[in-house]
Structure 1
Amino acid sequence: MRFVAAKACAGSRARAGALYIGGNSAAPIETPSLMISTLKGLPAFISRDHLGDLPAPDSHLLHVSPIHFLDCPATKTICTIGGLHQMVGLHDHFFIASPRDSLESLPESDGTNKLGASFETPSGRQLVKPSAYMEMITSLMPNLWASMADEVPAWVSDKRNKTSVDRTLRWLDECINLDLEGGKNVLGFVVGGSSIEERKRCATEVAARNVSGFWIGGFGLGESIEERPALLHAVTDSLPEEKLRLVSGLSLPGVDIIQPFLSTEIAA
């Protein structure tokens, strides 16, 4: 994966560029670009045959949550099929995998060691460790994938917020160590809640890792619209200019104070 920032708006963090995914023959994806949410790889509101009929911006980017595959099909089955592209028959589309969706994610611990994150699924709450998460990523073979994250609402204590950043960084390291490609296609998750200091710390630490881009999360969890510009600036000021940034949880585009970020990055 390679991202090229072609233009920048003076006086703001706004950028426009091109995202190169796949082989050398694959056409670049101009950013900003539409990324469609899916359920197990297929959009819930439009048939696969009509994806190409959507108006601009293009619809070649699809978001998939690995958590949706906790129940079935099994990772071994997906591997046998040949990955997510083969399973759903969308060979000309690009999948970005991230556990960030509408499901509630809560941390769990055995009292001494952080184990992983638990997710509500149709089969009840399930604990997901980085090893199990990377097993799903390996089987799905997405074009890009985000590391696990401990996202917290805006009203948590400073101690809990710091813990969420520490856990997110530790999970990132574990995911990279377990990745067969050594983080070649990973988007490092940036959290920090409503704390500017913790967001700066998380962004700086993630940027020091071997990541291809950044998934800026932790939004849409109780923070006010007025808080968002400072929180976003704290993150973007700490990230390298040459790498992709994806922001999630900002709701629909159109609000002036967040439009520079939504109009120049991929937004989920």
Structure 2
Amino acid sequence: MLTVVAGDLLADRVGKAEPRVLALHGWQRSGADFSRILEGTDALAVHLPGFGITPTPPEAWGSVEYADHLAQALAGSGPFVVVGHSFGGRVAVRLAVRHPELVSALVITGAPLVRATPPPRPSWRFRTLKRLHAAHLVPQSVMDRVRRSSGSDDYRAAEGVMRGVFVRVVGEDYREDLAAVRVPAHLVWGELDDSAPLAGARLAAEILPGARLDVVPGEGHLMTGALQDAVRTALLAAIGDVEADGAGSVTPPTTDADPSPQEPA
């Protein structure tokens, strides 16, 4: 059921009790990605600003602004087990550090949190045009056309404010925030994820205090198939752990699935 969280922030409401799970989707995705994962829980699958049916932010936000916006909308509720995919995982880490009262545990998949290799160097042609543009020898229209043709699919698909959001977010670094997380964290990764490579997930797991990393063989970036099942299993385990520890009033899920996590990769 679609619900207004606060202001113009929308979410799919799952369950009947007070939500204790918060699901944050990936870039160009929506809260609907979590429909199977959240079955039997009490949850909010947020449609982040600029995605799905939620209006775009007023300016080019980074993940910090997204986290702060969420915190303002959720003030007085929670804490939540936060499950984040890709871009949503970035926001989840920021939320856990900046607003720890709202987060009881993290489950993250496919989020580019740490680079394991240096970013690819722009082509010689692009670097030359950029220098000429800085010297006012190449017009802005030419640079815009070159960026559109050479950027990633996500960059080319984004427009206006959301293109600015994309540029900000891909340049962010999360090492300091990862080290500051103080709630249980479970990373679940597709072995073949080419948008957020596994090597980066391994580095993130080393930085996150006490984090667990499960690798799902043969799976990629999107939450389908075995990766979807593994994320659900990790989420149910996190809910059970929070309930056992008494950290927040988490309603036990109604499910026939095995809530035990996978063996560590």
TM-score normalized by the length of structure 1 = 0.32
Structure having the larger proportion of residues in strand: 1
Structure having the larger proportion of residues in helix: 2
